[in-house]
Amino acid sequence: MHIVRRRGWEIPEHMVTPEAVMTNRRGLLGGSLALAFAGTAYAEEAGPPRNPAFEAGRALTAEKDATTYNNFYEFSDDKDLWREAQALKLRPWSIRLDGMVKQPRSIDIDDLLKQVAPEERIYRHRCVEAWAMTVPWTGFPLSKLLAIAEPLASAKFVVFETQVDKKTMPGLSAPWYPWPYVEALTMAEAANDLAFISTGLYGKPLPPQNGAPLRLTVPWKYGFKSAKSLVKISFTETRPKTFWEAIQPAEYGFWANVNPAVSHPRWSQASERLLGSNERVPTQIYNGYGAFVAGLYDNLKSEKLFM
């Protein structure tokens, strides 16, 4: 397959949308978005209980920045796709539970949400493009969804497939991308405490541009693993080819664990730019979540774990 190189993380960080342009765009948003939350102000908002096990160790990113600077290629490869994303139709919405499960079936999102208790977690998010944010997600552990799906003991991978709706997603007309967007985890990764399904952000329903109504959130991996707007979760014995791996296997792999010491072939991963302040801070291995996840990889040293 011939792939035309496009923007996004296929270019170095310094070529990503210039900040002056972003700032100007934000200026144009006027009063249409809520004022940014400061970390402490946000803590006073009512919402589902915050899980204290996940300390972000950084100030929260302003809501405005997290919701107006996004990657969602089904809509556009521009970072300010949030306007287009408002067309995403969020109901009815069902999730197919398929493959190596006790009984393949579809579950309506509202039925699913009745079966899980919402909680809030503040997580750092590190994009492979070397920008980062810290945001409060609402949602539930992925392990709860695994329990509902009832995978067979022989299943080895969980595959996440996301929405394809040509009527509302103009980016799908780009034929060089292997739609649908597919991501996957090993069963052990998916069962890890950190693996989360997000349904909200900043105490509000998840905005379409951040992956409504249901999005995977795996904060120890580069952001492209966190697939948005999930429609299918299937279980397999063999490792699937994931979306970015299919496009550029030398640059984007299956594991994609964050590591400052392993450069992307075209840029360094040693530091990251915080959305909002644009401050550069050192990147941490596993995005700082090694205590939760490093043990998952003890027997996988021969794999390319960090790309």
Tell me the three state secondary structure of residue 212: coil
The residue range among 65-73, 86-94, 151-159, 263-271 that interacts with ligand MTE, by the rule CB under 6 A, is: 65-73
Q: Candidates 179, 196, 224, 254: give the one binding ligand MTE (CB under 6 A).
A: 224
Residue 182 phi/psi, 5-degree rounding, is -125, 135
Q: Is 123 or 157 the residue whose CB approaches ligand MTE more closely?
A: 123
The distance of closest approach from Cβ of residue 307 to ligand MTE in the complex, given in angstroms and rounded to an integer, is 14
Select the residue interacting with ligand MTE from 61, 76, 186, 210 (CB under 6 A).
210
State in angstroms the smallest separation of the CB of 207 from ligand MTE. Answer: 8
CA-based nearest residue to 117, from 91, 143, 154, 99:
143
The Cα–Cα gap between 226 and 272 comes to 18
Contact call for residue 22 and ligand MTE (CB under 6 A): no
State which residue, 152 or 281, has the beta carbon closest to ligand MTE.
281
Is residue 127 at the binding interface for ligand MTE, with CB under 6 A as the rule? yes
Smaller CB separation from ligand MTE, 76 or 192: 76
Number of residues that bind ligand MTE (CB under 6 A): 17
Which CB sits closer to ligand MTE, 155 or 218?
218
- Of the ranges 21-29, 83-91, 220-228, 232-240, which one interacts with ligand MTE (CB under 6 A)? 220-228
User: Of 107, 206, 196, 198, whose CA–CA distance to 143 is shortest?
Assistant: 196
Q: How far is the CB of 91 from ligand MTE (least distance, A)?
A: 18
Site membership for ligand MTE, residue 181 (CB under 6 A)? yes
| Nearest residue to 99 via CA among 230, 229, 233, 216 | 233
The tokens 């556009």 sit on which residue?
76
CB of 133 to ligand MTE, least distance (A): 6
Separation of alpha carbons 269 and 109, rounded Å: 37
Strand 94-99 relative to strand 230-236, pairing? parallel
Asked if 220 interacts with ligand MTE (CB under 6 A), we say no
Does 177 help bind ligand MTE (rule: CB under 6 A)?
A: no
- Show the beta-strand stretches assigned E in the chain: 94-99, 105-108, 119-126, 131-141, 157-162, 182-186, 196-201, 204-205, 215-217, 230-236, 271-274, 280-282
What type of residue sits at position 32? S
Strand partners, 122: 136
**H-helix segments, the chain:** 19-28, 39-43, 63-66, 82-85, 109-114, 142-149, 187-191, 243-247, 290-293
Residue from 54, 73, 93, 289 that binds ligand MTE (CB under 6 A)? 73
CB of 302 to ligand MTE, least distance (A): 26
For ligand MTE, the binding residues (CB under 6 A) are 70-74, 125, 127, 162, 181, 210-211, 223-224, 226-229
